[in-house]
């Protein structure tokens, strides 16, 4: 399942890292709250685990305020200290720079650079009825910046591009849990073996698709040991709806 706007607290996860970042920064909760644009009570709830983690944008603000690595804050990978992470990148050979890109999650107060564009974010939301059923929506206020040259290299028009965040391990080792993915909404035809974002009964899924006779498709997870292959007729009302082809995703080591 996907949810780009929020990162759910886990047993040993982000709650402890948020608490560590705030504690080691020496900043008061009031100062943290002001930097993140929330109330001090919200910061208290982040630390105590009484609520979900901040939105991606507020996590970025928290990382900047406390001078920790955003990557470490959201998933525990890499250096804790943002300066150490930057220093390590500066030692990489020149040819590797194309792969060492930032998360591109945006601080809302920062203007776009000339080579960037805002892209909407797909996510699941619960229907207003509150019965647990979900629907896939685009944007709803959530957006992230993305590189225009990257879109150009992929031959994708900015108006056809969107983003989401992969959840779970069904597409590992290709796409890891928590990786941001790029979706080309202008490509909905099935190309065998390519990865697509799907709206399946209100659930946002990411799978490889393969064509079959009689207008059917195979829906395949890279982690086939845990997630068996599925097959659907595209005319079946229960079949997944293709949102677009996944043209880019973050890679974690």
Q: Which two tokens stand for residue 159?
A: 């108006």
Position 98 scores a pLDDT of: 26
Joined tokens for residue 229 = 């292959």
Q: Which CATH architecture has domain 116-249?
A: Ribbon (2.10)
What is the Cα–Cα distance from 50 to 239, expressed in whole angstroms? 37
Evaluate if pTM is beyond 0.85: no
**Span 190-215, average pLDDT:** 92
Residue 251 to residue 231: CA distance in whole angstroms: 28
Average confidence (pLDDT) over 210-216: 94
Q: 84-114 pLDDT, tens per residue?
A: 443 443 333 332 222 222 334 443 446 667 7
Residue 151's CB: how many other CB atoms inside 10 A?
20
Instruction: Domain ranges for the chain, please list them.
Output: 14-98, 116-249
Please give the CATH number for the structural domain made up of 14-98.
Answer: 1.10.260.40
- Rounded distance, CA 214 to CA 227, Å? 24
Which segments of 115-240 does DSSP mark as H helices, in order? 148-153
122 versus 3: the higher-pLDDT residue is: 122
pLDDT average, residue stretch 215-225: 93
pLDDT in tens, 50-95: 777 677 667 777 888 888 877 677 667 666 765 444 344 333 333 2
Full strand arrangement of the beta sheet holding 180-184: 134-147, 116-126, 161-165, 180-184, 241-249, 195-200, 203-212, 216-220, 230-233
Mean pLDDT of the chain: 76
Whether 53 contacts 6, CB under 8 Å: yes
Distance CA 113, CA 110 (A): 9
Residue 171's pLDDT is what?
92
Q: How does pLDDT run across 118-177, given as a tens digit for each residue?
A: 888 887 655 544 445 556 776 666 778 888 888 888 888 888 898 888 888 899 999 988
Structure token digits, residue 130: 């509150």
Q: Which two tokens stand for residue 37?
A: 């644009």
């Amino acid at each position: 399942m996907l949810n780009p706007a929020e990162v759910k607290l886990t047993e040993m996860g982000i709650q402890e890292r948020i608490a560590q970042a705030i504690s080691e920064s020496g900043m008061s909760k009031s100062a943290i709250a002001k930097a993140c644009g929330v109330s001090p009570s919200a910061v208290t709830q982040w630390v105590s685990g009484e609520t979900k983690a901040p939105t991606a944008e507020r996590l970025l603000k928290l990382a900047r305020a406390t001078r920790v690595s955003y990557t470490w804050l959201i998933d525990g990978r890499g250096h804790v200290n943002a300066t150490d992470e930057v220093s390590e990148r500066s030692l990489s050979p020149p040819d590797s720079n194309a792969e060492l890109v930032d998360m591109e999650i945006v601080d809302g107060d920062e203007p776009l650079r000339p080579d960037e564009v805002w892209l909407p974010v797909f996510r699941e939301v619960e229907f207003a009825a509150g019965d647990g059923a979900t629907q896939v929506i685009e944007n709803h206020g959530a957006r992230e910046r993305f590189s225009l040259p990257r879109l150009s290299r992929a031959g994708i028009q900015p108006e056809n591009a969107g983003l989401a965040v992969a959840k779970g391990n069904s597409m590992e080792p290709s796409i890891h849990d928590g990786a941001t993915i790029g979706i080309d909404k202008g490509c909905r035809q099935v190309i065998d073996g390519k990865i697509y974002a799907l709206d399946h009964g209100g659930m946002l899924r990411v799978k490889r698709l393969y064509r079959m006779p009689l207008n059917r498709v195979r829906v395949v997870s890279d982690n086939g040991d845990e997630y068996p292959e599925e097959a659907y007729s595209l005319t079946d009302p229960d079949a997944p709806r293709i949102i677009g082809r996944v043209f880019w995703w973050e890679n974690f080591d």
